[in-house]
């Protein structure tokens, strides 16, 4: 989703950094390069008023509270979060009438795509909460799966196990665990990204 298409230049000027090219996008937002901070990226996310029990502002306050805890905990299984903030609130016209939306941003460490082989590994052993596919393998089962896959795929078994071990200790519920939300550092450590649907 190209969130910045909803922003005018004067509103975008409120963002405290110069924004570079788009690096990627998902259901809830888009990632932008930060030319003045090459080791960081900025994610613009959008919250829509979907007529649920919470207002758009309440949903944002709840998310910011979670972001604060994520930044404080600085968990090794999650992408490092440096800062976050409010950008803009407005309405758009839909087929059902006007809909309120709120745009916010988060500055995070820059990570890199995992390989095709690593994607296959995580597709095999991890849940996909969004598709309601729950995989709850114990460490012994994971070891057996990785042992069977190591002959045909190129991956660091140590890093995969370390990531899974750390992921079990995260005190948040990530509702969008899938291979597209796993990236890695320059040194090959895996991290979970995308906090828009975290609880």
Q: In the chain, where are the structural domains located?
A: 3-110, 113-192
Identify which has the larger pLDDT, 197 or 78.
78
Q: What is the mean predicted confidence (pLDDT) over 161-188?
A: 84
For residue 130, pLDDT over 70 is answered with no
pTM attached to this predicted model: 0.85
* CATH 3.30.200.20 fits domain 3-110: yes
Residue 117: pLDDT band by 50, 70, 90 thresholds? Answer: very high
Give per-residue pLDDT as tens, 155-167: 999 999 999 888 8
CA distances from 186 to 50, 189, 196 (A): 39, 8, 24
Q: What is the pLDDT of residue 13?
A: 80
For residue 189, pLDDT over 80 is answered with yes
Q: What is the pLDDT of residue 126?
A: 82
C-alpha dihedral (125, 126, 132, 138), degrees to nearest 10: 70
Reading the block at residue 122, the tokens are 């995580």
């Amino acid at each position: 989703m190209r969130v910045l298409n909803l922003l005018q230049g004067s509103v975008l000027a409120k963002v405290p950094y110069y924004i570079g090219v788009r690096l990627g996008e998902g259901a809830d937002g888009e990632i932008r390069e930060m030319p003045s901070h090459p080791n960081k990226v900025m994610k613009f996310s959008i919250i829509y008023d979907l007529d649920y029990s919470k207002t758009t502002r309440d949903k944002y306050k709840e998310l910011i509270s979670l972001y604060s805890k994520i930044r404080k905990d600085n968990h090794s299984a999650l992408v490092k979060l440096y800062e976050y903030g409010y950008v803009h609130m407005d309405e758009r016209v839909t087929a059902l009438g006007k809909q309120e939306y709120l745009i916010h941003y988060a500055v995070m460490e820059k990570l890199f795509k995992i390989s095709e082989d690593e994607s296959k590994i995580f597709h095999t052993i991890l849940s996909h909460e969004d598709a309601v596919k729950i995989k709850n393998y114990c460490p012994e089962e994971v070891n057996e799966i990785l042992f069977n896959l190591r002959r045909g795929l190129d991956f660091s078994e140590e890093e995969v196990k370390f990531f899974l071990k750390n992921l079990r200790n995260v005190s948040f519920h990530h509702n969008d665990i899938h291979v597209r939300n796993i990236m890695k550092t320059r040194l090959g450590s895996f991290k979970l990204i995308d906090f828009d649907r975290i609880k």
